Amino acid sequence: MLSGYDEEEKCKIAVRFLVPKQLSANGLAKSNLQIAPRVLRSIVNRYTDEAGLRNLERCIATICRKVARRVAEGELQGFKLKQHGDLVEFLGPARRKEGRALGRDSIGAATALAWTASGGEILQVECTAMRGKGRLIMTGQLGEILKESVQAAMSYARSRAAELALDESLFEETDFHIHLPEGAIPKDGPSAGIALALALISASTKRAVRHDVALTGEITLRGQVLAVGGIKEKIMAARRNRIPTVLPPRENQPDAAQVPESALRDIELVFVQDMDQVLRRALREPTRGARQRETRTGKGAPPSRA
């Protein structure tokens, strides 16, 4: 896959080239318009969805034209764009929603990192367990590769039932529903594999997933974590959404060299090679009540009723 400009690169290019170019094109001096770096970052993240710079320059040009008109009409001599809210006046409502990071630890919900043509994104993976007949339900416009990852995650979880203190009958008497929100958007690829397995195991054991961890990696039936693409973009997506810990495959460790040092200061990278490492880092310890049930019955907590 071809890598586009990341957020940091776009902002630097805007400061050095795009803003001066559009100021000159619209007859403005530097004193007439100043755009704060945080505002440029908001334009990149909320008003553009691209690997390149075309829409970013269009947004800057729109702002310059509107300021130039006000200067020509004598309405103002200089303007400083300092806050995100100022952009609505010039560019209208944001065209792109920011990713929704989990706000708290949750049972059956994990944050995956995905690659798109315009960069990295976070993707919520949800799993719920209901009394049933062992069905596996998948919703959210999953592609064939992603469906195979769900099947692999389920097989891995079932094969580890004893180690996870789960009775094998749980999988025969329970329906599992895997859902990836924003169902209007097609999703595919193997890189959500370990996040799917984590969400499924969390729903089975009733142990919460840490909200401050994001994951990417393909899973095998034996629980090995395989390398995936777009590591740089995915790490930058985690940073943009203020997720402090990322679990990428160990095989991708050389790819981390592509990430700007400024971004790595805000992110802890924990490279993993199997699901045991993922579970230790991303799953909370069982609650006191769950531990007592496991001690009495030798089983995990029962699934919730539909």
Radius of gyration of the chain (CA): 23
- Contact predicate 35/52, CB 8 Å: no
**What pLDDT, on a 0 to 100 scale, did the predictor assign at position 275?**
96
Domains present along the chain, CATH in parentheses? 7-91 (1.10.8.60), 109-297 (3.30.230.10)
Which token pair is 196? 């799917």
- The one-digit pLDDT tens for each residue of the chain (306 residues) are 556 777 888 899 999 999 999 999 999 999 999 999 989 989 988 898 777 899 999 999 999 999 999 999 888 788 888 887 888 889 998 876 665 677 789 999 999 999 877 778 899 999 999 999 999 999 999 999 999 999 999 999 999 999 988 888 899 999 999 999 876 678 888 999 999 999 999 999 999 999 999 999 999 999 999 999 999 889 988 988 889 999 999 999 999 888 888 778 889 999 999 999 999 999 998 765 555 444 444 444 444 332
For residue 18, count other CB atoms closer than 10 A to its CB.
Answer: 21
**What pLDDT, on a 0 to 100 scale, did the predictor assign at position 295?**
44
**What pLDDT, on a 0 to 100 scale, did the predictor assign at position 200?**
95
Pick the catalytic residue: 149, 191, 202, 204? Answer: 191
**What pLDDT, on a 0 to 100 scale, did the predictor assign at position 130?**
94
- Contact predicate 269/291, CB 8 Å: no
Residues 6 or more apart in contact with residue 9 via CB below 8 angstroms: none
Q: Helix 144-159 vs helix 193-205: angle between axes, to the nearest 10 degrees?
A: 40
**Known catalytic residue: 191?**
yes
Query: How is the chain split among helix, strand and coil, in percent rounded to 5?
Result: 40, 20, 40
**Known catalytic residue: 155?**
no
pTM, rounded to two decimals: 0.79
Task: Report CA 15 to chain centroid distance, whole Å.
Answer: 27
**What pLDDT, on a 0 to 100 scale, did the predictor assign at position 221?**
94
**What pLDDT, on a 0 to 100 scale, did the predictor assign at position 306?**
28
